[in-house]
Amino acid sequence: MSKYFIGIIMVLSVGSAAAHEDIPAPNLGDTLNRTITLYDEERIGRNIYKNLQKNNYIIDDFLVNDYITYLGNRLSRNISMERDYFFFMTKSDAVNAFAVPGGFMGFNAGLFILTQNEAQLAGVVAHELGHVVLRHSAEMMASSNVNSIPMWIGIFAGLLAGETEASIASIQSGIGFSVQKNINLVRENEIESDNFAVMLMNKSNYDLNEMANFFLLMQGDSNNQENLNEYFMTHPLYKNRISTIKKRAREQVNPIKNSTDDYFYVRNILESKMRILKNMKYKFSDDPIQNHRYALSLVNSGKYTEARKILSQSFSKDRFNIYLASLMSEILWLEGKKSESKEILKKILSIYPNNNAISHQLFFFNIKDQVDLEQSISGIEYLMKYNSYNPQAYKILAEAYSKTNRFYKSKLALINYYNLKGNIPMAFKVIDDSNSSNKLSEYEKEYLKKLKNSILCASNPPLEPIFGNKTCN
């Protein structure tokens, strides 16, 4: 992902509001809510997310998603506000994070990999939650000259589509902020979000010293200065920021650095996806996290036998570790040992029946192998209730429906997949092709027509003609 664009998004996602340790939820009946509602924010955020998906910037791995969601939920459960929060990881080596309207928060893989423990990562997540809960983006929009939700969708979409000059021109002419006012707003909101983060970290019992240590870590990493400059550009360091956090840390009693070992396994997965582990030297270790790391590197190189051998030492000692089990199952499946592969997943599910990642992996293998299709379809449908923003689940579901001759449901799942990926033309093509088929009833065709209009109006609707009925409200 372009490091510059993420920086712009963060600058756009700030405003000004008062903050303290016991920060109240915003008053949804105030003048701000009359300017831009939570629904408006969610609509903008959803379109930003779809544009990120369209450009293949989001990591849709269930193990990664489940962990960042767990961490976000662990912090956000201390917030009393009627709003949904959505946490996701992006495929960027830049050290940054961003909150966009609607409760959507993205964390770059580069930032996760630089952290040393869960508490450091939690500090960043808590900070971004501060931007969301205090509605900094809404305040910025309310203070600007742009008061059209479709225009905001277009501005953000332009940024993410790489139309740099046009997007910057739109922002400069539309927002109407002076440079100094922008700088002041950013600095003020960083202080407010830090105060909010300190409150969340305290209530979740995460070590505040680690939040401060992460800033020190970034300042001292001269080998990664280009990536770090981006973070400090969008999250400017103000005077006494680190010392203020450390002072508050003295009040804590037995704070934690890591709630589980999940942080380390997920960091291994991210390093694998970012190709940091490519061609690394390996050896047997007594540390299962290290063996997991080595095995991921070997899988990346197509060395499945070697990966299985080095992972088996740890897996034989802990067969209910979901990270070791998931990787061992993948290796065996790639080697063609499919029954053995799936048996591992079934045993995990006997202990953790609601685990999203393991369930999805088993259903994925079954659908690809065309076995237990009905059970797998039911399982994926259930997963979608809690993972409605994961396009890969829709994609495998469309394949399963197709293999069981459910033409209409297959097309619906495929439309959802393309819509989530931000590929609206392909979603419309599937709708049009389906409506020209004789495999659908008149009721199903009518539903698809309404769905097409709904997708159109939820994104960036077209200008209406002078004569005729309006397409969107």
pLDDT tens per residue, range 193-245: 888 999 999 999 999 999 999 988 877 654 455 555 555 555 656 667 788 89
Q: Tokens 């450390």 identify what position?
A: 246
Q: State in Å, rounded, how far the first CA of the chain is from the last one.
A: 34
User: Taking the CB of residue 177, how many other CB atoms lie within 10 A of it?
Assistant: 18
pLDDT (tens digit per residue) in 330-358 = 999 999 999 999 999 999 999 999 999 99
Can you tell me the distance from the alpha carbon of 409 to that of 392, in angstroms, rounded to the nearest whole number? 16
Can you tell me the distance from the alpha carbon of 11 to that of 196, in angstroms, rounded to the nearest whole number? 19
Higher pLDDT, 127 or 166: 127
**Where does 98-148 have alpha helices with state H?**
109-114, 118-133, 136-142
Average pLDDT over residues 388-413: 96
Yes or no: say if 423 and 435 are a contact pair by the CB < 8 Å rule. Answer: no
**Whether the predicted pLDDT of 157 surpasses 60:** no
pLDDT at res. 146:
57
This prediction has a pTM of 0.84
Q: What percent of the chain has pLDDT over 90?
A: 55
**Whether the predicted pLDDT of 125 surpasses 60:** yes
Name the band, by pLDDT with cuts 50, 70 and 90, for residue 126: very high
pLDDT at res. 38:
78
**Whether the predicted pLDDT of 77 surpasses 50:** yes
Average pLDDT over residues 105-114: 93
pLDDT at res. 101:
80
Which amino acid is located at 294 in the chain? Y
Tokens of 465: 């003609």
Tokens of 292: 């997991």
Can you tell me the distance from the alpha carbon of 429 to that of 455, in angstroms, rounded to the nearest whole number? 13
Can you tell me the distance from the alpha carbon of 278 to that of 255, in angstroms, rounded to the nearest whole number? 35
**Where does 286-423 have alpha helices with state H?**
288-300, 304-315, 322-334, 338-351, 356-369, 373-384, 391-403, 407-420
Planar angle of CA 136, 138, 143, nearest 5 degrees: 95
Average pLDDT over residues 428-456: 95
**Whether the predicted pLDDT of 94 surpasses 50:** yes
Can you tell me the distance from the alpha carbon of 160 to that of 154, in angstroms, rounded to the nearest whole number? 10
pLDDT at res. 278:
67
